[in-house]
Chains A and B, each alone.
Chain A
Amino acid sequence: MTIHFLLILNRQGKARLVKWFNNDYSNQERQRYLSEIHRLISSRDDSKYQSNFVEYEQQHKLVYRRYAGLYFVFGIDLNDNELNYLESLHFFVEILDEYFNNVCELDLVFNFYKLYNILDEIYLGGQIQEISKSRILERLAYLDKLA
């Protein structure tokens, strides 16, 4: 019941958000994962014939979805419920969309540091922490005011 990582990659493979939820990956592994996962997922970019799920490295399941030019990718446990996390990605995207008021790739580039704060309110330590959209947005607005 754990998210191991969340990646947002654009179609060229540039990472827009990289979050490793646990300490198990060395720097080299992280680099390798990024490029391999991009290659794997962009090769499956055909929603008609390809599912949104693919096993990776025999220990992770990737659940991913493309929004415009960005791939949103979760790495989850092999025994986890795929659809549940797929829909959670959508939930996350909706929150980004509302928070940034029509989110686009550049928002993620310029506000890269804010993404980590947003993640901490939804998926802390790889666990789903909050499932109410309104409460998350309220909380983010509140934290922005503290600044």
Chain B
Amino acid sequence: MAPSQMKGLTQFIINLRNSNDSEEEAKRINLEINNIQTKFATNLNGYQQKKYLCKLVYIYLNGYHEGIEFGLKHAIELVDSQVYSEKQLGYLAISILANKNSSKIDLNNTLNIVYPILIKDLRSNNEDINCLAIQYIASNFNLSDNASYQIDESDENSSEWLELIDMTYSFVTSPIHKPIVKRKAIIALFALSKLYPKVIINNNNWIPRILTLIDDKDFDIVISSMPLVEYVVRLKPQFIKSIIPAIGLKLFNIVVEGKCPEEYYYYKIPAPWLVVGLLHLMEQFFLMKDKDIPVLCISNLDDQTLNNFRQVVSTSIQNASQSIKGLPNRNSQSSILFQAVSLAVFLDASEDAIHGAINALILLLNSPDTNTRYLALDALTKLTSRSNIPVGVDDTIPKLFQLLYDKDISVRRKALDLLYATCTPLTFSSIINRLLDYFPFSDFSLKSELGIKIAVLAERFATDSTWYVTTMLKLLSIGGGYNSNGVSYIGNEVWERIVQIIVNNEDLQQKTCKLIINLLKNPLVLSANGKSQPIQTGLSENLIKVAGFVLGEYGHLVNDADTQFQLLYESYFRVSLLTRAMLLSTFLKFLVKFPDNDFVPEIIDLFEIESKSMDLEIQTRAYEYLKLATISSNFELAQKTIKPLPAFVNVESSLLHRIGGYHDISRRKSRVLAKNIPRKSPTADITNGEDDTNPFDDTKTALSPNWYSGYYRMLHFDAGIFFESPLIKLTYRILKEGNNILIRFTIINNSAKTAGTDITKFTVLELESRAGDTDPSYLLNLKQVPESTIRDKSVLEIEIKVRSVIENNESPILSVTFMCGGSFNQLNLKFPVLLIKTLSATILGSEDDFEKRWLQIGELLGTNEGEYTTTVIPSASFTYPNIIRLLSRLGFAIVYASPENPPSNLLIKGAGILHTQKSNYGVLTKVKSIESEVQENGYNIVVRCTGGGIAEVIALTLKEILQEDL
């Protein structure tokens, strides 16, 4: 198709391209700007406005930003046009001309300009016009992940933002709009959520709807919603489990079953971007942490889902081993392969399987294709760092060192990452030595990272303090250089860290002084790996900094202060001002510690000279030190000022923050040397971290209306209807075995009969245990998740392990969401997980036995702990015979029941055993009628139990059951 063009624009571009030099071009542009400005003063039709604005945009894009500000006003006018292409260009012109800077003020200013037109276009009945406004939002209000600002209610125009967000959200959930509008709105909502996260955090009812987007039938909706879903889960990690089964099934259908609509095939591969996207999303989920605890682990997945993921991974690996023609096919296949391998570790692959994958990837390191070598290194780094299984030692490490000299710096960088990740207590010393050898030959852009990695590895694996200090000093010696911007290759963190460790470790102090003196006397000569002439390391500022500090502080531990001083004094005028300032302090310490040595006058002279220094810092220091040293005799004043350095309290290495690459690598559990170093005398307690509980967190789930009847039924019947509405019905069956309870829900599509529709996107949003976090009284496990589309019925199974005594208020809440006939529904239903559900009958020989036990409990625990009495007036349905039936249904063995007639002095005695993982408890109950009461049918419930306090739990449950009437 030949896109329609604007002639005047084309001619203008041709003229500009024909300019001989930039001067001529600038001239033409200025002429045209004037021309356009004049034209806009006249009455222009829409086409002309569009053409001239387009020229202005072109001018702007070519780097001429001055003198065209007037264009913005006309762009806003043009957006009002009824002609689509004119409106479209108006939006483009605004986004380019108004998009000046990245600050919050600019953003709010832009909003003020565009707000009226956006609202108008979002309200339009024309979807194409809706799309233009949504697209504008998605591309112009989009902050990156590390943006420095957000919007909240304290912002002046927060209500405008909120309105945009509300409108965008309504497109996302609208049942009437086309998928394309929805998709764009999803991306726009993602941008707005990052800008104004509180909206998502506070809108609890939005979250389930957003999460179900990932289960949409439309592949494009799924792919558009991945970033938003990831973002929401990051804000509310508790919802993560609800979406995993849908992702697993979707991947399984595409990758294993090959179910993919024709139009989503890319060459021969079904929807590669969707597959990689979903695998990547899963990888991110597994890496996600909430207060340092992974939010997802394999035990959270039900068997079917886990199996789906495993099959997806193994099929992807198999597919990749079959050769396929054409670069697009091969690239797509490999992109899926590498993504699948990154996920495999989290799926609890066996060590053998990981070794297999590692070996396969190692073979790829010899590939002639550079991309392949790069990607294989990348995948190996992820595998080894996440599985803690290092790559093979014998052949691979030499290969990796070879790859440090690859022609492509990207490969060199990845090889370094892998060497870092694969370092073990067996290999660290050879790896570190070779990395030190490599340092002088490494790229400038790699040196800083290399230095940090060496430092971290040395600290992590060091077993011998002398080795550690030697290695680090060597690193500082060879890494002394600067890049062209005057930035040291080795960051300050490195030498600061060494100082920290030396200060905190007394054994090291003397040793280090000796080593430093040696290094200053005989600078290191590098062997240069046989590549060229040996390399003489120059003066290393970092080494001087450490030397200045360590000798100043601990120099007295070794003899020969004169030599020490001379070495430092010689380097004084060869180092930067910053280092000189440090050395001045060192010299002051020398003065105090060695007041009788010959170098004292030299120091005083230096202070005097430097107190006239051009540099303010040096001047100030020198002057102050001079006064300290000269005001009183014998340096008394200086002596009072100079005190030994206290131990560092903060033992976390700041180096770890600087490690590039994958975050999880640095988190690897390791022995950090400094942590093993005894502290001298910590000067301050580590302040307790602020209580960082999120104030928005855990707003109590609001239960759905009518939840109680199902809950109540479940209290005493082991099967029945749990919930019913015109759309859906949940029935249940409870299977008990000791302390294990299995609840099998059957979800029945009621709307099939009435409206003939399917229930879709059925998701278990949350299974919220109320059993406490630290030592939960019971554990919940979602054993089987129902199918997401329910035509007729599907099964949901929940496994409960009762660990200890469950309090009566600890019952969990099951939250499910589903779509039915275009409507979105959420149910939050509480179901009883109570101690009484573990009750089983005991066969007591006789009533005498019962009474004997009854007395035993009384003697053993006393009536305070062992017994509980309560009064209840049962609802009408609980006649005396029904109470007997109830008790036996609950699991009591009925040891005795008085006859119904005469209806006085009624008495039932029941016995049973409660099962928990920790212990079993005998429980006895007496239910007797109260004759003296005015009301008829009043009963006393007396419960005795062998576990302290449990009698109350059981008695109150019985009471709840008896007095309700539903």
Q: Chain A residues near B2 (CB, 8 Å)?
A: 101
With beta carbons under 8 angstroms apart, the residue of B54, B58, B138, B338 that contacts A124 is B138
Inter-subunit contact A24/B102 (CB<8 Å)? yes
A51 touches B128 (CB 8 A): no
Known: A25-B102, A54-B409, A113-B54. A1 touches B220 (CB 8 A): no
Check A50/B407 contact, CB under 8 A, given A117-B88, A127-B190. yes
Question: Does B662 contact A130, Cβ atoms closer than 8 Å?
Answer: no
On whether A110 and B266 interact (CB within 8 A), knowing A84-B335, A87-B272, the answer reads no
Report chain A residues within 8 Å CB of B204: none
Q: Mark B1-27, 1 if CB is under 8 A from A, else 0.
A: 111110001100100010000000000
B141 within 8 A of A: yes
Task: Provide the bound-state CA to CA distance between A22 and B95, in Å.
Answer: 12
Q: Is the CB of B273 within 8 A of A23?
A: no
- Per-residue 0/1 for A108-147: is the Cβ within 8 Å of any B Cβ (1 yes, 0 no)? 0111111011001000111111111111000101011011
A120 to chain B: which residues have CB within 8 Å? 135, 139
Q: What are the interface flags for A30-42 relative to B under an 8 Å C-beta threshold, 1 for contact and 0 otherwise?
A: 0100000000000
Q: Is the CB of B4 within 8 A of A1?
A: no
Report the interface size for chain B: residues with CB under 8 A from the other chain: 86
Instruction: Please report whether the interface of chain A is mostly helix, strand, loop or mixed according to DSSP.
Output: mixed
What is the 8 Å Cβ interface bit string for chain B, positions 40-60, against chain A (1 contact, 0 not)?
000000000000001001100
Q: A44-B408, A144-B4 are contacts. A82–B144 as well, Cβ < 8 Å?
A: no
B188 touches A125 (CB 8 A): yes
A82: B residues at CB distance < 8 A? 335, 371, 374-375, 378
Residue on B with the closest CB to A20?
A: B99
**In whole angstroms, what is the CA distance A116 to B138 when docked?**
13
A55 at the binding interface (Cβ < 8 Å)? yes
Per-residue interface assignment for chain B, residues 165 to 183, with 1 indicating a CB less than 8 Å from any chain A CB and 0 otherwise: 0000000000000001001
Report the minimal beta-carbon distance from B57 to chain A, rounded to whole angstroms: 6
Chain B residues with CB under 8 A of A79? 284, 662
The chain B residue sitting closest to A131, CB to CB, is B273
A22 touches B143 (CB 8 A): yes
The answer to whether A91 and B220 touch (CB under 8 A), given A131-B274, A144-B4, is: no
Q: Is the CB of B101 within 8 A of A26?
A: yes
Nearest residue in B to A62 (C-beta to C-beta)?
A: B410
How far, in whole Å, are A18 and B101 apart by their CA atoms in the complex? 16
The A-contacting residues of B in range 360-387, CB under 8 angstroms, are 370-371, 373-375, 378
Contact B223 A21 (CB under 8 A): no
B241 to chain A, nearest CB (A): 21
Q: How close is B329's CB to chain A, nearest CB, in angstroms?
A: 10
- Residue on A with the closest CB to B141? A23
Interface residues of A in 59-117 (CB under 8 A from B): 59, 78-84, 86-88, 90-91, 99-101, 109-114, 116-117
The answer to whether A24 touches B1, judged by C-beta atoms less than 8 angstroms apart, is: no
Residue B811 interfacial (CB < 8 Å)? no
Q: Is there a chain A Cβ closer than 8 Å to B579's Cβ? A: no
Question: Which of B102, B224, B266, B378 lies in contact with A23, CB distance below 8 A?
Answer: B102
Determine the chain A residues whose CB is within 8 A of the CB of B271 once the complex forms.
131
A130 CB contacts on chain B under 8 angstroms: 180, 183, 220, 223
- Interface stretch (choices B275-283, B425-433, B667-675, B743-751): B275-283
| Residue pair A128, B85 in contact (C-beta under 8 Å) | no
Contact check, B4 vs A58: say whether CB atoms are below 8 A apart.
no
CB distance from A145 to the nearest CB of B (A): 9
- Residues A91 and B13 in contact, CB atoms below 8 Å apart: no
Interface residues of B in 399-419 (CB under 8 A from A): 407-411, 413
Bound Cα distance from A117 to B143, whole angstroms: 21
**With a CB–CB cut-off of 8 A, which chain A residues contact B230?**
1
Query: By the criterion CB–CB under 8 Å, are B335 and A101 in contact?
Result: no
A111 nearest CB across to chain B (Å): 6
**A51 and B264: CB pair below 8 A?**
no
B398 contacts chain A at the CB level, 8 A cutoff: no
Interface flag for B65 (CB, 8 Å) = yes
Also in contact, A27 and B100, with CB within 8 A (given A21-B139, A127-B224): yes
Complex CA distance for A21 and B141, rounded to whole angstroms: 10
Please measure, in the bound complex, the distance between the C-alpha atom of A127 and the C-alpha atom of B225, giving whole angstroms. 9
Residues of A within 8 A of B99 (CB): 23
Output the least CB separation between B323 and chain A (Å).
17
Q: Which residues of B contact A51 (CB under 8 A)?
A: 370-371, 373-374, 408, 410-411
Contact, CB under 8 Å: A128 / B273: yes
A141 contacts B84, C-beta separation under 8 Å: no
Chain B residues within 8 Å of A15, by CB: 61
**Any A CB within 8 A of the CB of B859:** no
Docked pose: A22 CA to B102 CA in angstroms: 9
By Cβ-Cβ distance, the 4 closest A-B pairs, closest first, are A147-B85, A83-B335, A125-B138, A146-B84
- 7 A–B contacts, CB within 8 A, in A order: A22-B143, A51-B410, A53-B371, A81-B335, A82-B371, A120-B135, A132-B220
Since A86-B371, A131-B219 are in contact, a sample of 16 more A-B pairs with Cβ atoms closer than 8 Å, ordered by chain A residue number, is: A1-B277, A2-B227, A18-B61, A48-B370, A49-B407, A50-B407, A78-B660, A82-B375, A87-B328, A90-B331, A101-B2, A113-B58, A120-B135, A125-B138, A125-B139, A131-B273
